[in-house]
Amino acid sequence: MWGMIATWRMALEGVTKGAGMLEQGADAGDAVEAAIREVEDFPYYKSVGYGGLPNEDMEVELDAAYMDGDTLDVGAVAAIRDYANPVSIARRLSREKVNSVLVGEGAERFAHKEGFERKNMLTDRAKAFYRKRKKEDEQELRPYAGHDTVGMVCLDCKGKMTAATSTSGLFMKKKGRVGDSPIVGSGFYADSKVGGASATGLGEDLMKGCISYEIVRLMKEGLHPQEACERAVGLLDRELKERRGKAGDLSLIAMNNKGEWGVATNIQGFSFAVASWGEEPKVYLVTPGEDSRCTFEEASQEWMEDYMRTRMAPVEE
């Protein structure tokens, strides 16, 4: 028995790679790292890794995290620049007893010392998006339409669970801004005795609910991952609206240690990728409904083709 679930269509190639590894008996840490690296390396995903959109100073600052659900080891980097695969640095940090969450220059110094690949992560395409946004003078920072953080939860044949995330955060964020993705309990959580969860959306709001931990806590109480996701997302969405007038984008994926999975969102357009011992890698589209209930259906061939076409279309400045 094995499984892997991830936020957004952009994770499909990574999930396919990870699923192939898990089928061969790979470790959940190796599979999740390889899967996230696949997304980080693809230049047309503008919210993760190479090609990620820059902060207001035109610098690409990346956040990533890794959690081992057997040992509860956590490693994370935030606002790291010029390294190709932040998730691998996060995983390496998870083996440290102390100093396992590093930011900015400290994270870069660690990565250099450990021999991780340096790379200029700012592409010409990302620069074009930056110039376009400057002209449009948009004020409100929002997660990018259609994709943002890649977050994954993985279960291997030995019952080990892991979670990992990687993101360039909000486009035009302030230098040094950190979202939910490298924050344990908010952007991700994994406990092999229960399951794991990971988030995508507006970090500032996701953090207010420690939402990944909350989903794992609900699964520990016996809820199916689908119920746990719907309950946690519904509650946080309501609380935010009641107390603050509005809620940012909140989308979650989860899997328990039986390989059962669930998702929930408060937005239209959330997609996710999933694979397991009984299911080929597939992309589903989620529709939020009444009482936080969510329905989902497999993405059509047309949707999949259109997705790639729009991701790779020239940037009109």
Catalytic residues: 149
Tell me whether residue 94 or residue 186 sits nearer to ligand GLY (CB atom): 186
Q: Does 179 bind ligand GLY (CB under 6 A)?
A: yes
Q: E strands, 205-315, where?
A: 250-256, 261-265, 271-276, 279-288, 294-298
Tell me whether residue 8 or residue 110 sits nearer to ligand GLY (CB atom): 8
CB distance 123 to 161 below 8 Å: no
Q: Does 88 bind ligand GLY (CB under 6 A)?
A: no
CB distance 180 to 199 below 8 Å: yes
Tell me whether residue 14 or residue 203 sits nearer to ligand GLY (CB atom): 203
CB of 252 to ligand GLY, least distance (A): 11
Structure tokens at 212: 């990944």
The length of the chain in residues reads 317
* Burial tier of 270 (Cβ tally within 10 Å: 0-12, 13-18, 19+): buried
Strand order in the sheet with 250-256: 188-191, 195-201, 250-256, 261-265
CA 198 from chain center: how many Å?
Answer: 6
Q: Does 170 bind ligand GLY (CB under 6 A)?
A: yes
Tell me whether residue 69 or residue 179 sits nearer to ligand GLY (CB atom): 179
CB of 57 to ligand GLY, least distance (A): 16
Among positions 7, 55, 149, 271, the unique one binding ligand GLY when judged by CB under 6 A: 149
**Partners of 256 in the beta sheet?**
195
Among positions 200, 257, 276, 292, the unique one binding ligand GLY when judged by CB under 6 A: 200
Q: Which residue is nearest to ligand GLY (CB)?
A: 179
Q: Does 77 bind ligand GLY (CB under 6 A)?
A: no
Binding site for ligand GLY (CB under 6 A): 148-149, 167, 169-170, 179-181, 200-203
